[in-house]
């Protein structure tokens, strides 16, 4: 030794030495030998690189084990982990859209744990059809002759176009050539479905005579698309579904109505804006209607196709159907969700989507007032925290113009010269909590819209952690 100490590289502990340390043994006990070794190697590699570039000195076995253990803890957190959605958007596509009712959660869990009568007819003891689990409910709730179900509404539109108009033309108004978030564009879906898009009318006005002029020997179907996520206003004309249905019938071509969100009940009775119901579309005479399971309906991701029995039978025979089918977990959740609609009086308390959409603003304001002191304490003295009135949105392209009066806690830097970085930093601190809190930055503040905050206790526990970390 005598002054000629080994180089820092040579002084680094071996993998074995780190494994033998107290935290090293803990890492093995919790994550297994293989993952612990990989994490320790990763740490040691990083340290060697840092020593070579002179950015770090040295580290003992316990310190290396500690960093490796932290890495393992971080990697073990689920990527799809629960968060608080305080964005003010109730059906947030990036945060998983509808929250399922407890009844659906229980049904899904039971279907995961035990064998279920999925394609099995319990009355006869013979093979059954998986879609019959929800078909009768859908027929009952929509007034349609028949119903079938696929993975999501994008799939529903794709398979309907492919079944009814493959190699033929599909006629759509230019005002309805929608793009829904996540690259669902009607013209692209049509191309993949193997149907030729025939655009008619103009962006703001399409008349019945435009449809009539476009119908010919090659027409596969007429399509009506609900402009879920935008409105064309001003000098506009769109043809009512009933007139379109009559025209389609006269020419012997089917009318398909893609409702998108679609809802099974008139939401105006719950004080939310009016969105066309599936039953309305069926009654207006559409031959097939398509809609989503996880938007306003408030269930799991799914795509419904309801309408004429002969057309539903053709969809079911399409080989694509097998590639789009639902698994037992979702079917169980869906059945439980749809059953709640049989009791409309209690729907609003049992269906989280509806409960959150119609949550009284007074209740949200009271929650904001209760939480304000704890939040102010947690973010520290450099920030001002206040309760402000705000507007929540429905989300998922549903009822784009409907906004709901709500209340938010607004966190803003006291220093008026503070940069936008300060807000990004505070947002990042909230995102790094054990249950990440997702808010939004608007008007120079980090805003937490409390409409969707139901687990107040857990949120408070998170605030305490935030304070500790500051
Ligand atoms: C949302 C929407 C779709 C896509 O539905 P997903 O269930 O998200 O696949 C299709 N068409 C319209 C009109 C929509 O609003």
Q: Is 228 in the pocket of ligand 1 (CB under 6 A)?
A: yes
- pLDDT of residue 38 exceeding 80, the answer is yes
pLDDT of 133-173, one tens digit each?
899 999 999 999 999 999 999 999 999 999 999 999 999 99
Query: What is the CA(231)–ligand 1 centre distance, in A?
Result: 16
**What string of DSSP letters covers 260-323?**
ET-BSS-GGGGTS----BHHHHHHTT-SEEEEESSSTT-SSS-EEEEE-HHHHHHHHHSTHHHH
152-155-160-166 Cα dihedral, nearest 10 degrees: 180
Which of 96, 225, 228, 289 has the most ligand 1 atoms within 8 A of CB, as the residue to mutate? 228
Our CA dihedral for 350, 356, 360, 363, rounded to 10 degrees, sits at 100
Element holding 75 (H helix, E strand): helix 61-76
Contact 282, 144 (CB under 8 A): yes
pLDDT of residue 163: 98
Interval between CA 180 and ligand 1 midpoint (Å): 6
* E runs forming strands in 61-200: 84-85, 89-91, 120-121, 126-127, 146-150, 169-173, 179-180, 184-185, 196-200
CA of 215 to the centre of ligand 1 (A): 26
Cα–Cα separations (whole angstroms), residue 256 to 3, 157, 158, 187, 261: 86, 9, 12, 15, 15
Answer yes or no: is the C-beta of 227 below 6 A from any ligand 1 atom: no
What is the distance in A from the centroid of ligand 1 to the CA of 186?
10
Calculate the CA 404 to chain-centre distance. 19
- Each residue's pLDDT tens digit, 414-445: 988 888 899 999 999 999 999 999 999 999 99
The tokens for 164 are: 């009814």
Sign of CA dihedral 294, 297, 299, 301: negative
Ligand 1 neighbour 152 (Cβ under 6 A): yes
How many angstroms separate the CA atoms of 229 and 92, rounded? 13
Residues 6+ apart with CB under 8 A from 34: none
Does residue 44 have its Cβ closer than 6 Å to ligand 1? no
Confidence grade of residue 58 (pLDDT, cut at 50, 70, 90) = confident
Regarding predicted confidence, which is higher, 9 or 409? 409
Task: Using DSSP, state whether 435 is helix, strand or coil.
Answer: coil
Does any ligand 1 atom lie closer than 6 A to the CB of residue 290? no
Q: Is the CB of 303 under 6 A from ligand 1?
A: yes
Identify which of 427, 368, 390 has the alpha carbon closest to the alpha carbon of residue 89.
Answer: 390
Sign of the CA dihedral 342, 345, 350, 352?
positive
Among protein residues, the one whose CA lies closest to atom 10 of ligand 1? 260
Tokens of 345: 């009086």
| Residue 269: band (very low, low, confident or very high) from pLDDT cuts 50, 70, 90 | confident
Residue 4 has pLDDT above 50, yes or no: no
Work out which ligand 1 atom sits closest to the CA atom of 301: 7
pLDDT in tens, 83-97: 999 999 999 999 999
Distance CA 423, CA 177 (A): 38
Q: How high does pLDDT run on average in the chain?
A: 93
CB of 462 closer than 6 angstroms to any ligand 1 atom: no
What's the CA-to-centroid distance between 179 and ligand 1, angstroms? Answer: 9
The residue ranking higher by pLDDT, 229 or 458, is: 458
Q: Which of 154, 259, 294, 302 to mutate to test the pocket of ligand 1 (most atoms within 8 A of CB)?
A: 154
Asked if 277 and 246 count as a contact pair (C-beta separation under 8 A), the reply is: no
**CA–CA gap between residue 56 and residue 86 (Å, rounded):** 40
Residue closest via CA to ligand 1's atom 2 equals: 260
CB 97 within 8 A of CB 294: yes
292 ligand 1 Cβ < 6 A: yes
CA of 310 to the centre of ligand 1 (A): 24
Are 226 and 259 a contacting pair, CB within 8 Å? Answer: yes
């Amino acid at each position: 030794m005598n002054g000629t100490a080994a180089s820092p590289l040579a002084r680094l502990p071996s993998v074995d030495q780190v494994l033998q340390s107290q935290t090293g043994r803990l890492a093995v006990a919790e994550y297994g030998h293989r993952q612990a070794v990989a994490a320790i190697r990763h740490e040691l590699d990083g340290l060697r690189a840092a020593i070579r570039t002179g950015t770090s000195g040295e580290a003992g076995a316990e310190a290396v084990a500690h960093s490796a253990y932290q890495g393992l803890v971080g990697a073990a957190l689920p990527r799809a982990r629960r968060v608080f959605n305080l964005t003010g958007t109730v059906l947030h596509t990036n945060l998983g859209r509808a929250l399922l009712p407890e009844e659906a959660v229980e049904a899904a869990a039971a279907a995961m744990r035990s064998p279920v009568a999925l394609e099995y007819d319990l009355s006869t003891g013979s093979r059954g059809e998986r879609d019959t689990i929800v078909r009768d409910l859908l027929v009952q709730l929509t007034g349609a002759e028949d119903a079938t179900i696929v993975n999501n509404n994008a799939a529903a539109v794709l398979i309907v176009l492919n079944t009814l108009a493959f190699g033929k033309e599909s006629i759509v108004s230019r005002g309805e050539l929608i793009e829904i978030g996540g690259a669902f564009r009607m013209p692209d879906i049509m191309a993949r479905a193997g149907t030729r898009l025939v655009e008619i009318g103009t962006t703001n006005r399409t008349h019945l005579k435009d449809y009539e002029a476009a119908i010919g020997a090659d027409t596969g179907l007429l399509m009506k698309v609900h402009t879920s996520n935008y409105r064309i206003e001003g000098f506009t004309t769109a043809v009512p579904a009933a007139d379109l249905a009559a025209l389609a019938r006269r020419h012997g071509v089917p009318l398909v109505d893609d409702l998108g969100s679609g809802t099974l009940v008139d939401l105006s009775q719950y004080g939310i804006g009016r969105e066309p119901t599936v039953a309305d579309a069926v009654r207006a005479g559409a031959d097939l209607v398509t809609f989503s399971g996880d938007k306003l309906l408030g269930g799991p991701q799914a795509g419904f196709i309801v309408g004429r029995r002969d057309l539903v039978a053709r969809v079911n025979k399409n080989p694509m159907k097998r590639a789009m089918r639902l698994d037992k977990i979702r079917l169980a959740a869906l059945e439980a969700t749809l059953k709640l609609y049989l009791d409309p009086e209690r729907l609003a308390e049992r269906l989280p989507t509806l409960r959150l959409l119609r949550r009284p603003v007074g209740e949200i304001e009271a929650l904001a007032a209760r939480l304000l002191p704890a939040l102010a304490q947690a973010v520290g003295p450099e920030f001002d925290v206040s309760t402000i009135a705000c507007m929540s949105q429905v989300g998922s392209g549903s009822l784009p113009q409907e906004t709901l009066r709500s209340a938010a806690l607004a966190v803003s830097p006291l220093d008026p010269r503070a940069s936008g970085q300060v807000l990004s930093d505070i947002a990042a601190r909230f995102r790094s909590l054990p249950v990440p809190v997702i808010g939004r930055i608007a008007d120079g503040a980090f805003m937490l819209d409390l409409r969707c905050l139901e687990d107040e206790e857990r949120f408070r526990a998170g605030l305490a952690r935030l304070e500790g970390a500051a």
